[in-house]
């Protein structure tokens, strides 16, 4: 590892459980981040800053003025640009040595199996249930760890899914067997969202990705983390594998 890299990452190289070998492991890790919005911004920034070697960004949208209260990858001058392009510019400015692959598309059941062949870990930062289920199911089939977060209003949730390993690891369907009806899926435009909520959840999500990449600490598989930013509370509740889960029974 070159002297400049040793200096850049010196504070985390000095941590027990990471060291030089761990930093090299991060450099060799490939992470796909689905969604470059409120959650995806801090995930991408912290992973780039930590030295993850390859980051893929799957995002189809363009930057809008209404994004800027929470989507910290972007600034006013980026309005109208493809998010993958604006995000790539910001991340390369942060860490010129990382490899960035923009995927200007809507991640779905058709393209995800091919995308996942190029990555080791996945962060789901999407904002809709259709994408969340598609990402989870593709990760399950490919045997790739998934760290998934969601946020709305003042609240959010976070967990890691590795059900492909078998019991006792739950899948996303153990938490929510079917997507809610469209009328029961509130959007940020309808319900609003505090920008700091996505910042907190996205930062925590990046932390879990780094732990999975390094195989350190206690992961969140089997645990659902619930954030209530309005009351400054975080709850950890068990998320057991559902023995009657129709999806898990397909293995």
3-28 pLDDT, tens per residue? 888 999 999 999 998 999 999 999 99
Cis omega (within 30 of 0) for bond into 168: yes
pLDDT, greater one: 104 or 190: 104
In a domain, residue 45? The reply is yes
Which pLDDT belongs to residue 194? 92
pLDDT of amino acid 177: 87
Condensed to tens digits (0 to 9), the pLDDT of residues 142-179 reads 999 999 999 999 999 999 999 999 999 999 999 998 87
CATH code, domain carrying 240:
3.40.50.720
pTM score: 0.95
Contact indicator for 37, 128 with CB cutoff of 8 Å = no
Using alpha carbons, list the distances in angstroms from residue 70 to 103, 196, 217. 22, 7, 29
Would you say residue 4 lies in a domain? Answer: no
| Segments forming the whole domain that contains residue 54 | 11-164+187-250
The pLDDT tens digits for 95-110 are: 999 999 999 999 999 9
User: Is residue 2 domain-resident?
Assistant: no
Which 8-state DSSP code applies to residue 248? G
- pLDDT of the residue at 2: 81
| 140 part of a folded domain | yes
Residue 203 lies in a domain: yes
Q: How many domains does the chain have?
A: 1
Tens of pLDDT, residues 45-68: 999 999 999 999 999 999 999 999
Query: Cα(56)–Cα(3) distance, rounded to whole angstroms?
Result: 26
């Amino acid at each position: 590892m070159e002297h400049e890299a040793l200096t850049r990452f010196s504070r985390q190289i000095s941590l027990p459980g990471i060291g030089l070998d761990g930093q090299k492991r991060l450099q060799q890790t490939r992470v796909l981040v689905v969604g470059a919005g409120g959650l995806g911004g801090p995930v991408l920034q912290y992973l780039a800053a930590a030295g993850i070697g390859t980051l893929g960004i799957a995002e189809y949208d363009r930057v809008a003025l209404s994004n800027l209260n929470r989507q910290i990858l972007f600034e006013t001058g980026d309005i109208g640009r493809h998010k993958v392009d604006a995000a790539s510019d910001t991340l390369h400015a942060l860490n010129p040595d990382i490899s960035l692959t923009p995927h200007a598309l809507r991640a779905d059941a058709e393209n995800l199996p091919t995308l996942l062949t190029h990555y080791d870990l996945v962060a789901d930062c999407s904002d809709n249930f259709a994408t969340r289920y598609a990402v989870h199911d593709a990760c399950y089939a490919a045997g790739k760890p998934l760290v998934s977060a969601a946020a709305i209003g003042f609240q959010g949730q976070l967990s890691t899914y590795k059900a492909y390993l078998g019991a006792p690891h739950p899948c996303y369907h153990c938490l929510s067997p079917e997507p809610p009806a469209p009328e029961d899926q509130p959007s940020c435009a309808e319900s609003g969202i505090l920008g700091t909520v996505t910042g907190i959840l996205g930062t925590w999500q990046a932390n879990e990705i780094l732990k999975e990449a390094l195989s350190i600490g206690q992961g969140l598989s089997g645990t659902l983390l619930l954030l209530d930013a309005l009351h400054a509370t975080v709850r950890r509740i068990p998320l057991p594998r559902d023995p009657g889960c129709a999806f898990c029974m397909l293995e």
